[in-house]
């Protein structure tokens, strides 16, 4: 039997009732966690990492699972003690996972491994003079470490480059989600963060050194400037995050003057006379209420 799969001990996977899909999902989580690209929360000394189930689905289309099935797989890993779970409710509900106390059993090397590899080396050495050539070829394997101790390598299908790519893609996805959710909150619209052109524009601005907070500032600036005007229809990703992004970022949020000296914000004209009239009306209402 192959001792490890996905870098985890098969016998321990079987012991905890886990299968190859569970192992694949757990490997994805561990690799992503170690890339230092995940959103982290520390609670009572324990580290938790934010995870999106739909991101897992995109990484493993071969599983043909639904989002709820991915969630149940993570809960299965949690119940097996491989992961811990934290729910964060801040303008939404988010699942964070940490490393469980039983995880170490999947990666711990025990004496059985050393005995197994030792038997292989002794078998080669005990084949006699006729197998001397084979023995010489295997000498390097059996000499390091001395006594032919077991030396394992993680059976990890991912590479550093692919992990970095996954890391960047998920960071972009997370940023796009946060930006578009903010835009929807401010405009009352229902834009999607997965639209290709939206992703492309956000990626381009981020690559230029702008931050998520810069996107939010642009949204606030142009909402202030365009609300109530004919330009309100341009409060959309393709306009806000395009080539004029830096201009919008530096847009001052202050009332503009019309030719007659009155101030305006959108289509709401605020003159001194109007302010006085409104104040006078409010005072009049107060007096009437007192008389009653």
Domain that holds residue 206: 160-254
Tell me whether residue 245 is in a domain.
yes
Tell me whether residue 286 is in a domain.
no
**Global pTM?**
0.40
Tell me whether residue 135 is in a domain.
yes
Tell me whether residue 272 is in a domain.
no
pLDDT at position 275 is 52
Residues in the chain: 292
pLDDT at position 280 is 58
DSSP single-letter state for residue 83: E
Structural tokens at position 199 = 């992703």
Whether residue 204 contacts residue 71, with contact meaning beta carbons closer than 8 Å, is answered with: no
The one-digit pLDDT tens for each residue of the chain (292 residues) are: 678 888 899 999 999 999 999 999 999 899 888 877 778 888 888 889 988 888 888 888 888 888 889 889 999 999 999 999 988 887 778 889 999 999 999 988 754 444 444 443 444 344 444 434 434 433 333 333 333 333 333 334 443 454 555 677 788 888 999 999 999 999 999 999 888 999 999 999 998 888 999 999 999 999 999 999 999 999 999 999 998 999 999 988 765 545 555 545 444 444 445 555 665 565 555 544 444 4
Residues 183 and 249 in one domain: yes
Structural tokens at position 119 = 């038997």
Residues 226 and 248 in one domain: yes
Tell me whether residue 125 is in a domain.
yes
Sheet holding 268-270, edge to edge: 256-257, 263-265, 268-270
Residues 174 and 89 in one domain: no
Kindly state the greatest CA–CA separation across the chain. 120
Q: Which of 63, 88, 107 is the last residue of a domain?
A: 107
Tell me whether residue 200 is in a domain.
yes
Residues 120 and 172 in one domain: no
pLDDT at position 45 is 81
Q: How many domains does the chain have?
A: 3
Residues 44 and 101 in one domain: yes
pLDDT at position 253 is 73
- Sequence-separated contacts (24+) of 162-167 with Cβ below 8 Å: 163/31, 163/32, 163/34, 163/35, 164/35, 166/31, 166/32, 166/35, 166/59, 167/32, 167/35, 167/37
Residue 53 sits in a domain whose CATH number is 1.10.10.10
Residues 183 and 248 in one domain: yes
Cα four-point dihedral sign 117, 118, 119, 125:
positive
Tell me whether residue 186 is in a domain.
yes
Residues 139 and 92 in one domain: no
Residues 228 and 186 in one domain: yes
Tell me whether residue 59 is in a domain.
yes
Q: Where are the beta strands (DSSP E) in the chain?
A: 4-5, 8-9, 40-43, 46-51, 83-89, 93-99, 256-257, 263-265, 268-270
Cα four-point dihedral sign 277, 278, 279, 284:
positive
Whole-angstrom distance, CA of residue 207 vs CA of residue 211: 9
pLDDT at position 32 is 84
């Amino acid at each position: 039997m192959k001792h490890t799969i996905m870098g985890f001990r098969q016998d321990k996977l079987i012991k905890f009732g886990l299968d190859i899909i569970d192992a694949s999902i757990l490997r994805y989580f561990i690799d992503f966690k170690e890339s230092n690209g995940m959103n982290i929360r520390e609670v009572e000394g324990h580290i938790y990492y934010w995870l999106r189930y739909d991101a897992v689905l995109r990484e493993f289309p071969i599983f043909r699972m639904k989002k709820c099935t991915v969630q149940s797989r993570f809960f299965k890993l949690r119940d097996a003690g491989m992961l811990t779970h934290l729910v964060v409710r801040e303008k939404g509900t988010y699942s964070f996972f940490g490393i469980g106390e039983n995880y170490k059993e999947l990666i711990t090397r025990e004496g059985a491994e050393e005995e197994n590899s030792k038997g292989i080396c002794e078998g080669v050495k005990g084949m006699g003079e006729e197998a001397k050539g084979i023995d010489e070829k295997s000498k390097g394997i059996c000499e390091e470490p001395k006594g032919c101790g077991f030396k394992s390598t993680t059976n990890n299908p991912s590479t550093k480059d692919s992990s970095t790519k996954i890391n960047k893609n998920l960071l972009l996805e997370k940023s796009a989600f946060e930006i578009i959710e903010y835009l929807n909150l401010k405009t009352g619209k229902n834009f999607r963060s997965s639209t290709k052109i939206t992703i492309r524009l956000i990626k381009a601005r981020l690559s230029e050194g702008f931050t998520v907070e810069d996107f939010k500032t642009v949204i606030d600036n142009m909402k202030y400037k365009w609300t109530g005007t004919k330009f309100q229809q341009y409060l959309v990703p393709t306009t806000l995050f395009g080539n004029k992004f830096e201009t919008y970022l530096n847009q001052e949020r202050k009332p503009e003057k019309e030719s007659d000296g009155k101030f305006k914000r959108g289509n709401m004209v605020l003159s001194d006379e109007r302010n006085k009239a409104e104040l006078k009306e409010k005072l009049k209402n107060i007096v009437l209420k007192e008389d009653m």
